[in-house]
Structure formats: C-alpha cells, structure tokens
Amino acid sequence: MKPDLQRFLTDRVDEITAEVAREVAGRVPAYTHLRPAEISNLVREAIAAYSGACEARAVLPVFRALGASEACAGHDARHFESALRTAARVLVRRTAGAAARLYPPTAEFITIMETAFTAESEIVGAAVDGHRRATRPAVARRIHPLLSNN
C-alpha cells in the first residue's frame, strides 16, 4: 500500500523489537525465550503485512511455522497466544502512530488501520493454528497407548 509507511516502520525495527520484547516479558513472563534476532525477523514480516506492503497471507507460513516450532518445544498455547497478542498490540500502536504522522486522519489512515487489524487477526490466527496442528500428533501419540491397551 504505502512504501513510506513500511520504510518508516522498518527504519525503527530495532526500537520496535525492543518494545515488543519488553511488553511480552512484562505481560507474559513465561514467554521470554525468543532471541532478539528471532523477534526482529517476525517484526519485519508483520510490518510488511501491517503496512500493506504485502498481503498478510504472504507472511502466514512464517507464523504457522513459529506456532508449530513453539508447540514442538512444548510451550503452552495460552502463553504463546498471549505473547502474540501482546506483540500485535505494540505493532498496531506503532503502525497507528506512524500512519498518523505520515498521513492526516483521513480515509487513507482508516484504510491503513483496517489493513493492520486484518493482518493482526490473520497472523495471530495462523500462528495459533500452526501450534494447534503441531500439537495434534503429540496428543495422538499419548492417547494411542491408552486406547490400544483395551
């Protein structure tokens, strides 16, 4: 949509990453194991979708894979989703601030924010779905021995 919005946010990716890490650590203490480089890559992907530089569906595989890897590592789905939503709030807040600075509150601003909220919903949904799908085989492996003993 607006390359200047993406550029504005991308130029501040280290600052945004640090804010995401602080917010997640403060709100979801059980979820502080991601390294800054991992968070930064995720923030870059989300910025592309939030700013409209790419369709949200273009970055969904990254977030599905994140969800799957977190499930395989044994991280609780509730903590994972809470951490995602915390990070998403930071990104929406930053996107809104950048859009308000770059564009007057007009229909264009509203369109940008609709794009950001849609991207947020799709990204969180994909990550949670990736976690859920990766968890299914583990559940099946635990249940199978119980059922086969009957």
For 101-132, the pLDDT digits (tens) are 888 778 888 888 999 999 999 999 999 999 99
How large is the angle between the packed helices 36-50 and 77-102, nearest 10 degrees? Answer: 50
Q: Taking the CB of residue 62, how many other CB atoms lie within 10 A of it?
A: 18
Distance CA 39, CA 20 (A): 8
- Domain count across the chain: 1
Which tokens sit at 99? Answer: 């859009």
Report pLDDT for 30.
Answer: 86
- The answer to whether the beta carbons of residues 105 and 42 sit under 8 Å apart is no
Global confidence as pTM: 0.82
Q: Is the pLDDT of residue 19 over 80?
A: yes
Report pLDDT for 147.
Answer: 47
Residue 27 belongs to a domain with what CATH number?
1.10.490
Provide the domain limits for residue 130: 3-148
For 65-84, the pLDDT digits (tens) are 999 999 988 999 999 999 99
Q: Is the pLDDT of residue 27 over 80?
A: yes
